[in-house]
Amino acid sequence: MSQTRHIPVMLQRCLDLLAPALEDPAHPEPVVVDCTLGLGGHSEALLAAFPTARLIALDRDKEALRLSGERLAPYGDRATLVHAVYDELPEVLARLGVPKVQGVLFDLGVSSMQLDEADRGFAYAQDAPLDMRMDQSTGMGAAEVLNTYPPGELVRILRAYGEEKQAKRIVSAVVREREKEPFSNSARLVELIRDALPQAAKRTGGNPAKRTFQALRIEVNGELSVLERAIPAAVDSLAVGGRIAVLSYHSLEDRLVKQVFAAGAANTAPPGLPVVPERYQPRLKQLTRGAELPTEEEVAENRRAAPARLRGAQRIREEER
C-alpha cells in the first residue's frame, strides 16, 4: 500500500478549525485525539503543525495501526496509538489518565487503505471476498449478513443505511440466489444488483452497487450505533475551549453529527424565564455554518473528498452534574 496515494481530506481546514484550542497558551501541552487514525495522514499533520501537542489516536483496524505506527515513529512518545473503536474513547482516556482533551478529530467512513486492499471486500469495482469488517479479528462479515439475515431485515438495512429505493427488488434477487448458492464474493453481488435494477435506476448516481455496499458496510461495522455513542462522548471529553471537527461522507452520518452539535448549542431553559440559569445555557458553539464542503480544486485532486461534509464545534461551558 503506497502511502503517497493517501491524501487526507480537507486537511488544512481541519487544522484551522482545531488550531485555536491547540495553540491556547492556557494549555502549553494540549492533547488532541484522532478518533479515526487510518493511514495517519491527519495525525501526522496534527503532530507537525502543533509541536507541543500530544496525540492519542484510535483505530479498530490492526493493519492501519501497524502502518501508521511506522509513519508516526519519528514523533516518538508524542503519539499514543490505541486499538479501539471510537465509541470507546472515554475508557481509553481513563486508562491513559487523561481527564480532558483540547481537540478531537473524526474522519468517518472507510479508510483509503481498506478501499485499496482488494481482499477486504469494501470496493465494488473489483472482485473480492465479501468481508467489509474494519476489524477483521471480530464479528460477522458482509457475506454472512447477506446469507443469513431474514429478507425483511435486509430490506430495512438497504433502505436505512444505503437510502436504496430499490431495496425490495435487490433483496428478492439476493434471497433467490442465496438459496442456490451462498454469497462469498463481491462480483456476484454487483452483477446481481445490475440485473435487478430497472434501466432508469442504473442511469443515475454512479455505480448501482454503491448504496448496497455502503449499507452492508455500515451494518457489518455497526457504524451508526457506534457514532451515536461516540460523538456525545467526544464532546464530553473536551475541556472548556476545546474543539471538535467531524468529517462525514454520507447524509446519515452528517445528520447525526448535526443533531448532537445543534442540541449542545441550544438554550434548554423553559420558556419565559427572565434570567436563564447557567445549567440551561448552551455548552457548545458551532464553528461552521451548516456543513462545509471541499473545494472544487480538492475534489479534482482527490475524488474521495467529493462527498465530504465538515462540521466543527467548541466547548464553551462545563457540564453541571
| Residue positions forming the annotated binding site for S-adenosyl-L-methionine | 40-42, 59, 86, 107, 114
Question: Strand, coil or helix: what is 102?
Answer: strand
CA distance linking residue 226 with residue 217, whole number of Å? 13
Q: Which residue has the cell 461522507?
A: 249
Provide CB contacts within 8 A for 159, sequence distance 6+. Answer: 167
Q: How far from 273 is each of 53, 268, 276, 320, CA to CA, in Å?
A: 42, 11, 6, 19
Count of alpha carbons within 13 angstroms of residue 98, beta-carbon side: 24
Q: Which residues, at least 6 apart from 70, have a Cβ–Cβ distance to it below 8 Å? A: none
Query: Which of helix, strand or coil describes residue 187?
Result: helix
SS3 at position 149:
coil
Binding site per annotation, positions: 40-42, 59, 86, 107, 114
Give the cell for residue 203. Answer: 442511469
Q: How does 127-142 read in b/e, with b if 16+ C-beta sit within 10 Å?
A: bbebbbbbbeeeeebb
Q: Which three cell numbers stand for residue 238?
A: 473536551
Q: Is 67 exposed, middle or buried (0-12, 13-18, 19+ CB in 10 A)?
A: buried
DSSP assignment of 233-294 equals HHHHHEEEEEEEEEEESSHHHHHHHHHHHHHHTS--PPTT-SS--GGGS-SEEE-SSS-B--
